[in-house]
Amino acid sequence: METSNKLISVQHLVKEYNHGTVKALNDCSIDIARGEVVAIIGPSGSGKSTLLRSLNLLEQPTSGEILFDGVNLADKSVDINLHRQKMGMVFQHFNLFPHKTVLQNITMAPVTLKKKTPEQAQQQAEELLERIGLADKANEYPNMLSGGQKQRIAIAGVLAMRPQCIVLDEATAMLDPIGRREVLAAVEKLNREQGITVVLI
């Protein structure tokens, strides 16, 4: 068994849309180590989102390979849902259920998908809320929170699934400067304290 520090390895990835008329990614290669924070920078339309969506199997590569933890994502044996649990994705829009409290939003997936008991899930959610500085919001509803707070709750929801990596697709684009700072500080803290790998646009 290879004990590599490499978590993600993208090799010669090509992604074409519209029968090859749009080449969103052209021979893209990148290695991302465990615990690393990687920012992908580039003008609009340069393929940043396509790369992140490919990592999470939301897009099928035209050619090239993506290895996650040494496993080729194109292998038939890869369980897509399990892979997505290992690689949590945070989008621009806050993926929260408006009719559930903050705590319920965070505990739902671990209870239904990870078979945690409600008590275990709640304890974990409380720890995560503490970490992101929102312990006092546990019983509030999303519409009572600021954009930066909502996005941090969405991140806590992703982290509740214990991913090895989180991927943020312009997750701060909708936020004002204060919200942006709050979210990036929370992500940086999670990386520093828990060694979680972060890939962000």
Helices in 36-169 by DSSP H: which ranges?
48-55, 80-86, 102-113, 118-131, 147-159
**Burial call 154-179: b when 16+ CB within 10 Å, e when fewer:** bbbbbbbbebbbbbbbebbebbeeeb
Residues 28-57 that bind ligand ADP (CB under 6 A): 42, 44-50
User: DSSP character for 44?
Assistant: T
Interstrand relation of 63-68 and 37-39 (parallel, antiparallel or unpaired)? unpaired
Judged by beta carbon, residue 10 or residue 96, the one nearer ligand ADP is 10
> At closest approach, how far in Å is the CB of 103 from ligand ADP?
33
> At closest approach, how far in Å is the CB of 91 from ligand ADP?
12
Using rule CB under 6 A, residue 22 touches ligand ADP: yes
Using rule CB under 6 A, residue 117 touches ligand ADP: no
Q: How many CB atoms lie within 10 A of CB 66?
A: 20
> At closest approach, how far in Å is the CB of 55 from ligand ADP?
12
Using rule CB under 6 A, residue 168 touches ligand ADP: no
Judged by beta carbon, residue 17 or residue 97, the one nearer ligand ADP is 17
What three-state secondary structure class fits 132? coil
Judged by beta carbon, residue 49 or residue 172, the one nearer ligand ADP is 49
Judged by beta carbon, residue 69 or residue 170, the one nearer ligand ADP is 170
User: DSSP character for 179?
Assistant: H
Size of the site for ligand ADP (CB under 6 A): 12
- Closest by CA position to 102, among listed 122, 120, 119, 86: 122
Structure-token match 């969405």, residue found:
154
Judged by beta carbon, residue 26 or residue 117, the one nearer ligand ADP is 26
Q: Which of 8, 24, 67, 158 binds ligand ADP (CB under 6 A)?
A: 24
Using rule CB under 6 A, residue 195 touches ligand ADP: no
Write out the residues near ligand ADP by the rule CB under 6 A: 17-18, 22, 24, 42, 44-50
